[in-house]
Structure 1
Amino acid sequence: MKQLTLKLVFVVVLLVCLCEFAGAQSATNDDIEWLEAEEFTLYWGEEVNASGYLITAQDFSPSYAFDSDYDYVMLSVLSRNKESWSAILARNNSDIPDHYTFENLINITAVEIVTGNDIPSPYTTINVTIANKSVSGTKVVKKIDTIIAVEEHRADEVYMDERAHIEFRIKNLKGEPLDHVELISPVPEEFIFDPDVDPIWNFSLPSFGQKTVKYSLKALRPGTYNFSDTQVLVSIGGRTYAKNLNDSQIVVHGPFINLTKDVSADTIQAGNALNVNIIAKNEGDRATYVSVSDEIPTGAVLLSGDISESKVLHPSDSLNLTYSVRMDVAGNIIIPPVKAKFVDSKEYEGIVYSRRLLVDVSDSFRSDEYEWLEEDSSSFTDDYTDSIDDSFENIQDESVVSEDDPVEEDYGMFQFAFDLLDSIKAYFGT
C-alpha cells in the first residue's frame, strides 16, 4: 500500500512539472551547434553557474535501501535574462527522459543520480552544453561572454591624409584576476601602423578590471577594407577561451595616381630612335590636379613629343605622354623615372615616381667601321711591307763599296779641322 502511494505521489509531481516546462523542450535539435560539454555534480539544494545559467538541484526521488528505476532529480534553470525553467530527469526510465533542451539554448543530461539512504545527501552528476547557434536566432551566452566584455570603437571613413583610430576596451566580468589575456588585431596589408606597433597585445586584468588598447593606422591607397579575425583570448586553468569580434569596414577616400613609364625596346643601336610612353591614371575616388614631368636620358636628343603636361584627373581618368628620343651614346643607359605631382581640392598633395628602366645601346656603326679599317689596314700593311722590302734591297745595292774606291777616314768631332787642312794643302799644291 505504501509503495502504491509513493507511485501516485510521483505521478502527480511529474504531471505538475511537465505542465510547467511543456514549452521548454524544442521539437528538434538537429540544427543547433553546441559548445563543448561541462560536467557538474549537484547535491540536494546546491546551485552551479554554467556559462551564465544557474542550475539548482531542487529535489530528488525518495531514498530507498536499494536502487530503483524511479530515481529522479528535479532541476530548475535560471538564465541571465531571468527566464526560468524546470525539468525532471531520470536514468534507465522509459517514462522520464535523461536529458532536456531549453529553448534551444541549453541542454542538460543526467549522467548519474544517487538517492540511497546510506549516504548523507542525494546527488546527481550532469553534463551541460550551451548552444553556439540556433535556428530561432535567439542570442546565446557563451562562456567567454561570462568572463570578459569587449567594446570596439573604429573609424568608419577616413581621408588619405588622416589616421584611422581604433580602440578596444576589455573588461573582466569575474571576481577573480585574469593573468593571461591576449588581443590579436590583424590589419589589411594596405594599412600601416602609425606609429608602428605590434598588433598583438598581452596583459592581465585584475578582478572586474579594465584594459584599453588604442592604435592608429594610415592607408596606403583609397578603397573599402574589411577588418576581420580580431580575437581576445583568455587562458584559465589550462584552457583558452576565444572571443571573436565582428568584422568591420573602413572606407578610405582620396586620389591615387598610378604612374607608369615604358619604352619601345630594351636594346637599340646608337643613332636610332627610342619611343617613350607615360601614363598617369587616377585610381582613387576623388579628383586631383596632376603635373607630369620627365627628363630624357643622358646623351639623348629629343626628336618629337612633349615631356611634361598638367591636367585635372577625375576618378578613372588618365593622362598620356608620348615622345621620341635619339640615342647617341652607347652603353647601358639608365632611363630616369618620370615624376608626377598632385594636389586635390582638400589640399591633400603628394609626389609619385615611376620605376627606372635600363636600355642597352650598342655602337654597331663603329664596330662595322672598325672591321672595315682592320681589313683595309691589313691590305695596306702587306703592300707597305712589300714596298719597304724593295726599297731596302735598292738601298743595300747602292751602299755596296767597291774595293777600288778610296775609303774616307772619319775623325769625328775634329773632322772640320782636317777638312780645313786638306783645303790648304790643295791651295798650295802639296
Structure 2
Amino acid sequence: MRIKVCLIVLFAIALCANTAIASSDENTNWNETVNHTLYWGDSIEVDGFLIKANDFSKARPFDIETDYVMLTINSDDSEEWSALLSVNNSQIPNTKIFGERLNITAFEVVTGIDIPAPYTKIGVSTFNVTEKDIDSWINNTIFVTKTRSKDTYIDERVFITIQINNLRNLEFQSVLINETLPENILMDPDINVDQTVNISPYSKNTIQYSVKALRPGNYTIPPTEIEIIDNGIKYYQYTNSTELVVYGPYINATKTAKVDGNNPQLYDITIKVKNEGNRAAYVEINDEMLPNSVVMQGKIATEMVIFPDKIKTLEYSIRIEDIEGNPIVPSAKVYFSDSKGYSDIFKTKKFYLLEEEEDLPEPIEIPEDDQNTEVSGTPTEENDGEDTEYPSFGRIRSVKDILDNTMRIINEALEHK
C-alpha cells in the first residue's frame, strides 16, 4: 500500500514538474512581473495600460478569503476591459490576460470594515513582442500582391490590382491602404486608393485603379502598405513592387536669338527639338516672325521625323527694320505625332529682345500660364543625343531684369534729393 502511495506521489510530482516546465516555456515572452498595491480608487500605468482598482466585494466585519477586486483597464489604443479577480474563490480566477499583452495576477485581496480602505496586491507583466513575432504573425495571417494589366502607351491607362488575402478566421476593421506612385505617373482621379476597408475571415479583397504616364519610360510602382490593428498592435504588410514600361515620343524644344556682332539689325534664330521618348515622331515646326522683320536666310517652317534620343535644328536669319521698344520674341509652334496616332502641340517660351547694353544680367525667359514647359516633336538631326551647347542669348533680358533696373534708377534718384 505504501509503495502504491509513493508511486502516486512521485507521479504527481513528475506531472507538476512537467507542467511547470511547460508553463515556463510558454511564458518566455512575458516580461518580469512587477508587484503593485492598489487601494480603492488607485490607478497605475504600465506600458501603455491604465489599471484601476474600481471596486471591491462588500465589506464584512472581517476579511474573508473569497473577497474580490474589480479592475478596469484602458490602453493607449482606446481599448477597455474590466475583470473580477480573487485569490481563493472557486468561481472567480486570480489571474487574467488582457488583449494578449497584459497579464494581471491577484495574490492578495483585503477588505472589511476593520480597515480604512480595501486594497489588493497584484503582479503585472506585459508581453514582450519582438519584430520576429510580429513578422511571423502577420505573414501567416495576411498575404498581399500587386499586379498590372500590361505595358502601356503614353496616351493610355494601365490598371493596377491590389489583392489582400485573409488566411485566418479573423475579422479586421479599418484596414488602411496606403499607395505611393513614382513621379510622372498620375492616378485615376475618380478612384481613391488610399482608403480604409474591412476584411472578413478567409476573404479576398481586391482594389483596382488605373494610372496614366506623363512621359514615356521605365517606371517602378513601389509596394503598397497595408496597415492592420489587432488588439491594439499595429501590423504592416507590403505588396511586391511592379515594373511598368510606357511607350511614346517625348519632345522638348527651345528657341533662341543671337544678334550679329557686325550688324545690330541682324539676328540668328535657332529652334532645337529633341526626342526624349522611346518612339519616333513626325514633327512640324512653324515659327512666328518678330514685328517689322524679314527673313534673310533659311525658312521659318519645316517638317521632319526625329528618332528617340536625337536632336534636330531649324535655323534662319532675320533683319529687323525698325526696333520699337523691347519687342517680344514670339513662340514657335511644334506639332508632333507618331505612327500610332498619338499627337500633341507644343509652344516654346517667349522672351524679350532688347537693345545691346553693357554688363547685362543673365536673361530669363518670360513664363506664360498657357504655355507648355515641354515639347514633343522631331527637328533636324544634330548628334546622337549628346548634350549640345545652345547659342548665347545676346541682347535678351527678362521682365524681372527690366523692373530691377528701373527700381535701381528710381532709388538712386531719391537718394540724391
The TM-score, its normalising length taken from structure 1, stands at 0.52
Q: Which residue pairs with 1:238 in the alignment? A: 232
Matched residues, percent identical? 30
Does the CA contact (< 8 Å) of 1:183 and 1:200 recur in 2? yes
Are 1:289 and 2:237 an aligned pair? no
Does the CA contact (< 8 Å) of 1:300 and 1:325 recur in 2? yes
CA distance in 2, matches of 1:196, 1:270: 58
When residues 226 and 60 of structure 1 are mapped into structure 2, their CA distance, relative to the original with a 3 A threshold, is: farther
Are 1:326 and 2:319 an aligned pair? yes
**Number of residue pairs aligned between Structure 1 and Structure 2:** 266
Are 1:148 and 2:142 an aligned pair? yes
- Please list the CA deviations of residues 7-46 of structure 1 after superposition, one character each: whole Å capped at 9, or x if unmatched: xx99xxxxxxxxxxxxxxxxxxxxxxxxxxxxxxxxxxxx
- Please list the CA deviations of residues 125-151 of structure 1 after superposition, one character each: whole Å capped at 9, or x if unmatched: 98675748xxxxxxx963223443323
Which has more helix, going by share of residues?
1
Q: Could you tell me which amino acid in structure 2 is paired with residue 298 of structure 1?
A: P
1:201 corresponds to which of 191, 195, 199? 195
CA distance in 2, matches of 1:223, 1:111: 53
Offset at residue 163 of structure 1 (A) = 0.9
Which structure 2 segments of 5+ residues have no match? 34-87, 96-102, 104-124, 358-417
- Please list the CA deviations of residues 361-412 of structure 1 after superposition, one character each: whole Å capped at 9, or x if unmatched: 489xxxxxxxxxxxxxxxxxxxxxxxxxxxxxxxxxxxxxxxxxxxxxxxxx
Offset at residue 205 of structure 1 (A) = 2.7
Superposed counterparts of 1:14-93, under 5 Å: 61-63=14-16, 73-74=21-22
Q: Which residue pairs with 2:162 in the alignment? A: 168
Q: Which residue pairs with 1:261 in the alignment? A: 255
When residues 297 and 198 of structure 1 are mapped into structure 2, their CA distance, relative to the original with a 3 A threshold, is: farther
Superposed counterparts of 1:214-363, under 5 Å: 214-264=208-258, 272-327=265-320, 328-361=322-355
Offset at residue 360 of structure 1 (A) = 2.5
Offset at residue 242 of structure 1 (A) = 0.9
- Please list the CA deviations of residues 271-319 of structure 1 after superposition, one character each: whole Å capped at 9, or x if unmatched: 6222211111111111222111111122322222221121121111221
Superposed counterparts of 1:108-147, under 5 Å: 131=132, 142-147=136-141
CA distance in 2, matches of 1:249, 1:200: 20
CA distance in 1, matches of 2:159, 2:13: 57
Which structure 1 segments of 5+ residues have no match? 11-58, 65-69, 76-88, 91-97, 100-107, 133-139, 364-430
SS of the residue corresponding to residue 144 of structure 1 reads helix
Offset at residue 109 of structure 1 (A) = 5.6
- Please list the CA deviations of residues 132-178 of structure 1 after superposition, one character each: whole Å capped at 9, or x if unmatched: 8xxxxxxx963223443323221452111221211112244443432
The TM-score, its normalising length taken from structure 2, stands at 0.53
Higher relative CO (CA 8 A, sep ≥ 6), structure 1 or 2? 2
CA distance in 2, matches of 1:156, 1:284: 19
Does the CA contact (< 8 Å) of 2:147 and 2:242 recur in 1? no
Q: Could you tell me which amino acid in structure 2 is paired with residue 233 of structure 1?
A: E
SS of the residue corresponding to residue 143 of structure 1 reads helix
When residues 219 and 112 of structure 1 are mapped into structure 2, their CA distance, relative to the original with a 3 A threshold, is: closer
